[in-house]
């Protein structure tokens, strides 16, 4: 065939190849963009999962959305303070590595119990462990879950001792009320809670006795129909407007319904 006869076919073939190439490049670009979006989403999820290790889910979501200021009011939560008694004596004669290993074993078991009873660990302060129920879920049964957590800790003391300090004793304090929660810091952020409720919960622990659970009147009021209590009496505190507080000992469960 002559060139004039072949040329139209060549042009059609060339046009077809251009269309195919354009479609291929478009598809490849779309695939690459999809992979990039997937990678970005995976990194976001990875970062979010890391945040969940030390932030409540609601707060982690707001932080991921790059809010400048994160704070929230919680009308009713329950707080547990758990302190190791005579920690200095327990750590005497052991190496720093061994002490940290034992303390980590103790707190890790508390973390597992927190997860079991749906409590949110807030922080550890030296030899003190702080957790709460009602953040971020704002549920009505926060006090019941906190009481069950505290009783579970006492019931598992032998296991905790075996994993950490054989002579371990703990004090547990519980209180319920309103708190303010928020994120502090820019480069190294953490979530914390404030208010009289926090201070009273702390005093429930520090004025308690080893291996017992001391609760406030407010906590007792929320759970008296579900748990067995004995009255302790009046304790003195250094909290403004709360110098004298009536307290109870949490003894056992009355009903599992």
Q: Is the pLDDT of residue 77 over 70?
A: yes
One domain for residues 133 and 248: yes
Share of the chain above pLDDT 70, in %: 86
One domain for residues 136 and 37: no
> Residue 32: what pLDDT?
83
**Predicted confidence band at 53 (pLDDT cuts at 50, 70, 90)?**
low
> Residue 55: what pLDDT?
65
Let me know if residue 174 belongs to a domain: yes
Count how many domains the chain has: 2
> Residue 13: what pLDDT?
82
Domain that holds residue 198: 68-253
Let me know if residue 82 belongs to a domain: yes
> Residue 183: what pLDDT?
81
One domain for residues 28 and 112: no
> Residue 43: what pLDDT?
63
227: left (phi over 0), alpha (psi -120 to 50) or beta: beta
> Residue 52: what pLDDT?
61
Determine the distance from the C-alpha atom of residue 61 to the mean position of all C-alpha atoms in its chain, rounded to a whole number: 14
CA within 13 Å, CB half, 84: 25
One domain for residues 187 and 98: yes
Nearest to 233 by CA among 224, 244, 225: 244
One domain for residues 125 and 182: yes
Between residues 92 and 40, the one the model is more confident about: 92
Between residues 54 and 38, the one the model is more confident about: 38
> Residue 151: what pLDDT?
98
One domain for residues 163 and 76: yes
- CATH number (domain holding residue 191): 3.30.70.1230
Q: Which of 34-43, 96-105, 138-147 has the lowest average pLDDT?
A: 34-43
Q: Is the pLDDT of residue 21 over 80?
A: yes
Let me know if residue 63 belongs to a domain: no
Q: Is the pLDDT of residue 171 over 90?
A: yes
Q: Is the pTM of this model over 0.95?
A: no
The Cα–Cα gap between 4 and 63 comes to: 69
């Amino acid at each position: 065939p002559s060139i004039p006869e072949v040329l139209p076919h060549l042009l059609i073939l060339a046009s077809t190849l251009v269309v195919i190439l354009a479609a291929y490049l478009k598809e490849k670009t779309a695939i690459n963009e999809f992979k990039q979006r997937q990678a970005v989403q995976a990194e976001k999820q990875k970062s979010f999962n890391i945040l969940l290790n030390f932030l409540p889910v609601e707060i982690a979501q707001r932080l991921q959305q790059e809010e400048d200021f994160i704070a929230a009011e919680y009308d009713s939560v329950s707080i547990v303070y758990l302190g190791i008694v005579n920690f200095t004596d327990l750590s005497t004669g052991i190496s720093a590595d061994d002490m940290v290993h034992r303390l980590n074993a103790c707190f890790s078991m508390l973390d597992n119990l927190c997860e079991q009873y749906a409590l949110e660990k807030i922080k550890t302060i030296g030899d003190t462990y702080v957790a709460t129920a009602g953040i971020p879920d704002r549920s009505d049964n926060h006090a019941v879950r906190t009481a069950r957590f505290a009783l579970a800790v006492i019931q598992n003391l032998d296991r905790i001792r075996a994993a950490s300090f054989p002579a371990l004793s703990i004090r547990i304090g519980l209180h319920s009320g309103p708190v303010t929660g928020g994120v502090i810091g820019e480069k190294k952020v953490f979530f914390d809670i404030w208010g009289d409720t926090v201070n009273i919960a702390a005093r429930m622990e520090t004025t308690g006795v080893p291996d017992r659970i001391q609760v406030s009147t407010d906590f007792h009021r929320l759970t008296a129909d579900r748990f067995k209590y004995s009255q302790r009496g009046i304790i003195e505190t250094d909290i403004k407007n709360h110098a004298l507080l009536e307290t109870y000992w949490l003894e056992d469960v009355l009903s599992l319904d």
